[in-house]
Amino acid sequence: MTPGGGSAALLEARGISKRFGGLAALTGVSLTIARGEIFGLIGPNGAGKTTLFNVLTGLYPPDAGECFLEGERLTGLKPYRIAARGIARTFQNTRLFANLSALENVMVGRHVRTRAGVGGAVLRGAATRAEEREIEARAFELLGYVGIAARASLPAYGLAYGDQRRLEIARALATEPKLLALDEPAAGMNATETAELRRLLERIRASGVTLLLIEHDVRLVMGLCDRVAVLDYGRKIAEGTPPAVQHDPAVIEAYLGGALA
Amino acid sequence: MSAQPQSGAGRFTGRWRELRRDPRFAWAAVLALALLLVALPFLTDWIAGRTWVRIAAFALLYIMLALGLNIVVGYAGLLDLGYVAFFAVGAYFYALLASPHFDLHLPFWLLLPAGAGVACMFGVLLGAPTLKLRGDYLAIVTLGFGEIIRIFLLNLNAPVNITNGPQGVNLIDPIHLGDLSLAQAHAVLGLELPAVYNYYYLFLLLTLAVIFVSMRLEDSRIGRAWAAIREDEVAAAAMGINTRNVKLLAFAMGASFGGVSGGLFAGFQGFVSPESFTIIESIMILCMVVLGGMGHIPGVIVGAVLLVVLPEALRYLGPLQSLVFGRVLADPADLRLLVFGLALILVMLLRPSGLWPSALRRRELAAAGGRA
């Protein structure tokens, strides 16, 4: 099969392996994420979920395997090129530009879709001014979209934890991704915040962005995701719709077996 | 009568705030500052003597240097301890191409931008190997590069004499703008302008240009990219910023300011030697940036002016002693460094984010203090 080729697959990972010294963080993991779906990635702590994210976004080179976005090879590209191709991400422990304002954080996200260089910055001609206005307007709009426009001028570190998570999503959306990869977006959120997050993620999907989600909140994953893959000790042990995965003996073994043994 | 009787001082600050919001006040302030800067050589000459006009011109050169380093350290967050190398490159570029050394006498209008370009190139050249380094490690490597440039200048006199070694390059052409030589006195509007005044005005114009470029860069897509890599390089890359190019751009832009300043220095002094470009110079320029307020243009300017003026002003410690005690108790040269060092320590203790920090840096330091 030729990768992509107009099929519904947005992202395809084939046989990804990654070792850190003696630890096999990922072993032959393959995934296919269809355009427009919400794909969940679950597994016990240390199963390799974040490592897979880091491989997909170019932070780590894989030891084996390849990734494709819309049939184009991503493996070997630098993170900024992968972002330009259309994958944006958030981080497990939010990595905001802590001392920049919320608005500035999102404005940085527009970098990859804008052009002005040193000449433009210094001369500030009509084109640069128009671009700057567009960047700021779009950033402000995105803050409103995730619901924190009122706190646009606060420094990122001064935001409440849930707002920081939302700001990270706004910043990622500013890059106009095809695939938005979220690393535990609900971590540390209370029930109300999680419900709001869920509505936000559904809206993002409805706007045409495909979502890849690492999450521990089982209710969120099962309620939100179209399909789920389960990692355990760096291997994919199950994949399918949430109900199917929930009843998969290998998954039950991975989650409960370890605890009972 | 309100329950809160305002003190005289409170009423004053209230009025002051109101006044500051008035746009007419802003224009008046700019006009006053412009007049002051134009009149400065006359005033200093009249009050303190010709030497101080020269010191004012030097202060302008150092403002350019400090603003250049501010791009690398303040905006992009890359600690550079060898910044004086770019000052040296600019100075020697001008010196070698406008002096009897090679018997080349290229015009100033060509040499200044070309010198900035060459310094830019060196910025990229020295920046490239350091791209993967951060913090302390970066500082050590840049320190090494700064010294390498100086040692090259010191030793490139054999087997082919390029730099004239430790003797330096002498008899450098004074700066000419067309037929107008800055080294001669000129009469303008009935006022006699001695050479050092001419240099002051030229340096002032170029300093304003450097300030303008700095301001524009800070508030731009490039400036935000610098801030992003300063804050979190991994996140910046994940957001699509080409961290390698953006860092090299910071080194290149910073170096170009150094190159301009260096060219002006060579033309002004008429003489350059490797001695002017030691590690101490790099540290002084870094002090100007840190002491004034990293990343904040007005702060950096204040830092540069202060660190140029203070050591000069402390020369008066000798005469002051004879005036007060009737004789010189302590060698003013020793005392000068002691007082200077103490002043630096005091400022850093009392105002750790610099004399005039940006709102951002104040926040940053407050946050770091809160986390610690």
Give the Cα separation of B44 and B361 in Å (integer). Answer: 34
Does A57 touch chain B if contact means CB atoms closer than 8 Å? Answer: yes
B372 close to A (CB below 8 A): no
Measured distance CA(A187)–CA(A193) in Å, rounded:
10
Distance CA A65, CA A16 (A): 4
Report whether pLDDT(A22) > 60. Answer: yes
Chain B stretch 304-363, residues whose beta carbon is closer than 8 A to a beta carbon of chain A:
360, 363
CB contact under 8 A, A79 and B238: yes
Touching check for A164 and chain B: CB below 8 Å?
no
**Which chain B residues have a beta carbon less than 8 Å from that of A110?**
221
pLDDT at residue B91 is higher than 80 = yes
Domain count, chain B: 1
Q: Check whether B369 has a pLDDT greater than 90.
A: no
Q: Which residues of chain A are within 8 Å of residue B237 when distances are taken between CB atoms?
A: 59, 78-80, 83
pLDDT for the residue numbered B288: 94
In contact, B360 and B338? CB cutoff 8 Å: no
Cα diameter, chain A: 68
- Chain A's closest residue to B243, CA to CA, is A80
CA distance B75 to A231: 42
pLDDT band per the 50, 70, 90 thresholds, residue B177 = confident
Query: From CA B224, how far away is CA B206, in angstroms rounded?
Result: 25
More confident: B334 or B4 = B334
Q: Which two tokens stand for residue B325?
A: 């005690």
Confidence at B10, pLDDT banded by 50, 70, 90: low
pLDDT of A1 > 60? The answer is: no
What confidence score (pLDDT) does residue B276 get?
94
Q: Is the dihedral of CA B6, B9, B12, B16 positive or negative?
A: negative
Please state the length of chain B: 372
Instruction: State whether B228 and A107 contact (CB < 8 Å).
Output: no
Kindly give the pairing relationship between strand A87-89 and strand A179-183. Answer: parallel
| pLDDT classification of B366: cutoffs 50, 70, 90 | low
Residue B251 lies in a domain: yes
Say what percent of chain B tops pLDDT 70.
94
Arithmetic mean of pLDDT, A3-18? 79
Q: What is the pLDDT of residue A261?
A: 39
**Between B79 and B365, where is the model more confident?**
B79
On average, the pLDDT of chain B sits at 89
Q: Do A122 and B217 touch (CB under 8 A)?
A: yes
Evaluate if residue A184 carries a pLDDT over 70: yes
Helix (H, G, I), strand (E, B) or coil at B104: strand
Residue B178 pLDDT > 60, yes or no? yes
pLDDT value of position A183: 95
In chain B, count H helices and then E strands.
15, 6
Residue B106 located in a structural domain: yes
CATH number of the domain that residue B160 is part of: 1.10.3470
B191 touches chain A (CB under 8 A): no
State residue B260 phi and psi, 5-degree precision.
-60, -50
Backbone angles phi, psi at A13, to 5 degrees: -115, 130
Q: Specify if B220 maps to a domain.
A: yes
Å from B58 to nearest chain A CA?
Answer: 26
Report yes or no on B20 lying in a domain. no
From chain B, pick out residues whose CB is under 8 angstroms from the CB of A107. 224
Chain A partners of B253 at a C-beta cutoff of 8 Å?
A: 118
**Band of residue A49 on the pLDDT scale cut at 50, 70, 90:** very high
The residue to which tokens 């697959």 are assigned: A9
Give the span between the Cα atoms of B258 and B271, in whole angstroms. Answer: 17
Regarding predicted confidence, which is higher, B339 or A126? A126
State whether residue A114 sits within 8 Å of chain B by CB: yes
Residue B257 lies in a domain: yes
Q: What does R_g of chain A's alpha carbons equal in angstroms?
A: 19
Place of tokens 């422990």: A93
> Quick one: B12 exposed, middle or buried, by C-beta within 10 A (0-12, 13-18, 19+)?
exposed
B227/A contact by beta carbon, under 8 A: yes
pLDDT, position A7 = 57
Q: Give the residue with greater pLDDT, B360 vs B54.
A: B54
* pLDDT confidence bin for B360, thresholds 50/70/90: low
Determine contact, residues B40/B56, Cβ cutoff 8 Å: yes
Structure tokens at B59: 């202060």
- pLDDT, greater one: B61 or A247: B61
In a domain, B15, yes or no: no
* A184-198, B189-203, B321-335, range with the lowest pLDDT: B321-335
C-alpha–C-alpha distance, residues A55 and A74, integer Å: 10
Averaged pLDDT for residues A23-43 = 94
User: Please, what sign has the CA dihedral across residues B129, B135, B137, B138?
Assistant: positive
Cite the DSSP H helix spans in B22-107.
23-48, 50-70, 84-97
The pLDDT value recorded for residue A3 is: 44
The pLDDT of residue B340? 81
* Residue B372 binned pLDDT confidence (cut-offs 50, 70, 90): very low
Residue given tokens 């991503």 in the structure block? A74
Give the pLDDT band of residue B8 (cuts 50, 70, 90).
low
Instruction: Give residue A216's pLDDT.
Output: 83
Q: Which residues of A touch B216 (CB under 8 A)?
A: 121-122, 124
Q: Per-residue pLDDT for B304 more than 50?
A: yes
Q: Is residue B25 part of a domain?
A: no
Confidence at A2, pLDDT banded by 50, 70, 90: very low
Residue-level pLDDT at B2: 44
What predicted TM-score, i.e. pTM, was given to this entire model? 0.91
Which has the closest alpha carbon to B221: A221, A129, A233, A56? A129
Model confidence at B362: pLDDT above 90: no
> Mind giving me the DSSP string for B159-220?
SS-SS-GGG-B-SPPPPEETTEETTS-EEETTEEE-HHHHHHHHHHHHHHHHHHHHHHHHTS
Q: From CA B351, how far away is CA B366, in angstroms rounded?
A: 12
CA distance B329 to B128: 52
Rounded Cα–Cα distance for residues B21 and B9 (Å)? 19
Q: Give the residue from chain A lying closest to B239, CA to CA.
A: A109
Range of the domain at B239: 47-296
What is the Cα B81 distance to its own chain's centre?
Answer: 14
Nearest to A121 among B221, B241, B364 (CB): B221
Three-class DSSP category at A18: strand
For the residues B5-14, what does the mean pLDDT come to? 63
- Average pLDDT, integer, range A212-233: 91
Quick one: how far is CA A25 from the chain centroid?
19
- How close does chain B come to A152, measured CA to CA in Å? 15
Yes or no: say if A199 and A220 are a contact pair by the CB < 8 Å rule: no
Q: What share of chain B is helix, strand, coil (3-state, %, to 5)?
A: 75, 5, 20
Q: Which residue is associated with the tokens 């000069």?
A: B312
Condensed to tens digits (0 to 9), the pLDDT of residues B211-252 reads 999 999 999 999 999 999 999 999 999 999 999 999 999 999
CB B33 within 8 A of CB B26: no
Q: How far apart are CA B209 and CA B64, in angstroms?
A: 9
User: Mind listing the pLDDT tens digit for each residue in A107-165?
Assistant: 999 999 999 999 999 999 999 999 999 999 999 999 999 999 999 999 999 999 999 99
pLDDT of residue A4: 42
Residues 6 or more apart in contact with residue B195 via CB below 8 angstroms: B174, B182, B183, B184, B185
Cα(A30)–Cα(A51) distance, integer angstroms: 14
Q: What is the number of H-type helices and E-type strands within chain A?
A: 11, 10
Confidence of residue B181 (pLDDT cuts 50, 70, 90): confident
Using omega within 30 degrees of 0 as the cis cutoff, is the peptide bond preceding B159 cis?
yes
Beta strands in chain A (DSSP E): 9-20, 23-34, 38-42, 64-69, 72-73, 87-89, 179-183, 210-214, 227-232, 235-240
Q: Is A74 helix (H, G, I), strand (E, B) or coil?
A: coil
Nearest Cα residue in chain B from A58:
B238
